[in-house]
Amino acid sequence: MKALLVYPDYPDTFWSFKHALKFIFKKATNPPLGLMTVAALLPRDWQIKLVDMNVRRLRDRDIAWADMVFLSAMSIQNSSVREVIRRCRAMGRKIVAGGPLFTTGHAEFEGVDHFVLGEAEITLPRFLADLEHGCAKARYETDERADITLAPAPVWKLAAMRHYATMNIQYSRGCPFDCEFCDITLLYGHAPRTKTREQLLSELEGLYDAGWRGSVFFVDDNFIGNKRKLKEDILPALTEWMDRKRHPFVFITQASVELADDRDLMRQMARAGFDTVFVGIETPNEGSLQECAKHTNQGRDLVAAVQTIQRAGLQVMGGFIVGFDNDPISIFERQIQFIQKTGIVTAMVSILNALRGTKLYQRMCREKRILAHDGTGSSIDCSINFEPRMDRAQLIAGYQKLTKTLYTPRYYYERIRTFLKQYRPPQKKTRFRLDLNQLAALARSTVRLGIIGRERFHYWRLLAWTMFQSPRLIPMSVTFAIYGFHFRKIYSRYRT
């Protein structure tokens, strides 16, 4: 068999970082980890190619080469997925589809020959066995959860690493919480399942041997789901490996805000090489937190929690949502004030949408508020797939004002300084050293932001301030300035 693995195009959105990546001559943030793991599950005698459409075009000759096309995607890639399916059907190629988009919404897609849903470690071998015997079915699905201690390492050689800003690995699946709007427990369950220390170190060794140096994103939806194992086993081993390898990587991950309650865990993470963590803050409005069952965020000082994490040497990237039933009209201004006060530089604010299969989706169906169309998965187009309690026009106008305000140079650069005043990285991993990417970013940002950019006053003021306050953090300041350029490009599309 000749198998073509296709990862569809990711549109230009907040997390695409497309405008920022140009400063360091990269084409995409991360390679498609799911497809690289699927590749390791395919028969050894198959020929396999990977086309990440975020790195290069999918050509007709790629499709013609293949006997079968394997397609994986998230909801935000919906439009590109449909075009890939159309092209493959036109050329008579069999299509196998899996991943989050299809696991919850396969009924919406025509032209797919085989849906392999749920966790591939379980359903893909069943499909492959039937395929070998000539009796492959149209759909394979399961409610079982995979034993990820048996999961294979991704096939790194399929990824053209030079095109990516960050590599990614997975340590755990599942989340102990059950937020109404989130589909993670639907896809991966409540009980956190973790890989072994040996697996994790082996995957990092594979990345190291492949020549990668730089950022590595732990894609776990809640990295701290099993704190005891992290503190007693994983982080000590990771720290020893990083010390032995002279710190080739910088780690990024995602965690719940209760991370702020465990100072020893934060210290160990920073010592092991973590410097950034994405936290779902969602909203400063207590009624909205109760509404969406975000229990871990309720009844706590969220500003203090964020500041505690950042003082421990972990930059907080924050996720925020507007459009809850309990949101007052003042929510937009409250979100601005909260984000500015915490110094969360990278603050991603979304309009609430009901993902298929979630408790929110089920509630909206019961209340007959689901609309005929699905949300696109991107807040940039302000799509909403249910009827909100707040007047729709007010919600969209408030959201647009909120996001545009956050990323105006005055607000954005003020937030960077607030963060840098709090940030206390471990001394060992903040030595002042510029690599080639950082030098390229500095050179291009000097011209694009410091000379011809409208934010040039703020840019030079930030660099001067950082030089006097903490010169080791100049690369971080430049990176933030470049991120701001990307965010302003994204939100400049709004007419209001």
Q: Provide the pLDDT for residue 218.
A: 98
Same-domain check for residues 349 and 226: yes
Q: Provide the pLDDT for residue 434.
A: 56
Domain-ending residue, one of 397, 421, 445:
421
Same-domain check for residues 314 and 448: no
Same-domain check for residues 229 and 348: yes
Residue 428 lies in a domain: no
CATH number at residue 131: 3.40.50
Residue 429 lies in a domain: no
Domain-ending residue, one of 140, 173, 197:
140
Q: Give per-residue pLDDT as tens, 71-127.
A: 999 999 999 999 999 999 999 999 999 999 999 999 999 999 999 999 999 999 999
Write the DSSP assignment of 326-338 as a string of letters: T--TTHHHHHHHH
CA distance 408 to 418: 16
> Please, what are the averages of pLDDT over each run of 10 residues along the chain (496 residues)?
97 94 95 98 98 98 98 94 98 97 93 97 98 97 95 96 97 95 93 96 97 96 96 98 96 98 98 97 98 96 98 98 98 98 98 95 97 77 94 96 97 98 77 67 93 94 95 93 96 72
Residue 156 lies in a domain: yes
pTM greater than the 0.85 cutoff: yes
Domain-ending residue, one of 392, 421, 450:
421
Same-domain check for residues 228 and 280: yes
Whether 157 and 207 have beta carbons less than 8 Å apart is answered as no
Tokens of 10: 């990711």
Q: Provide the pLDDT for residue 428.
A: 61
CATH number at residue 254: 3.80.30.20
Residue 426 lies in a domain: no
Q: Provide the pLDDT for residue 64.
A: 98
Same-domain check for residues 212 and 293: yes
Same-domain check for residues 135 and 152: no
Residue 387 lies in a domain: yes
Domain limits for position 92: 2-140
Residue 304 lies in a domain: yes
State which H helix or E strand residue 231 sits in: none
CA nearest to 74, candidates 5, 9, 152, 20 = 9
Q: To the nearest 10°, the Cα dihedral for 426, 428, 430, 436?
A: -150
Same-domain check for residues 177 and 226: yes
Same-domain check for residues 375 and 453: no
Angstrom distances, CA of residue 315 to CA of 1, 322, 346? 45, 23, 9
Residue 378 lies in a domain: yes
Same-domain check for residues 102 and 154: no
Same-domain check for residues 442 and 414: no
CA distance 271 to 427: 9
Same-domain check for residues 348 and 377: yes
DSSP state of 143: S
Residue 263 lies in a domain: yes
Same-domain check for residues 250 and 107: no
How many domains does the chain contain in total? 3
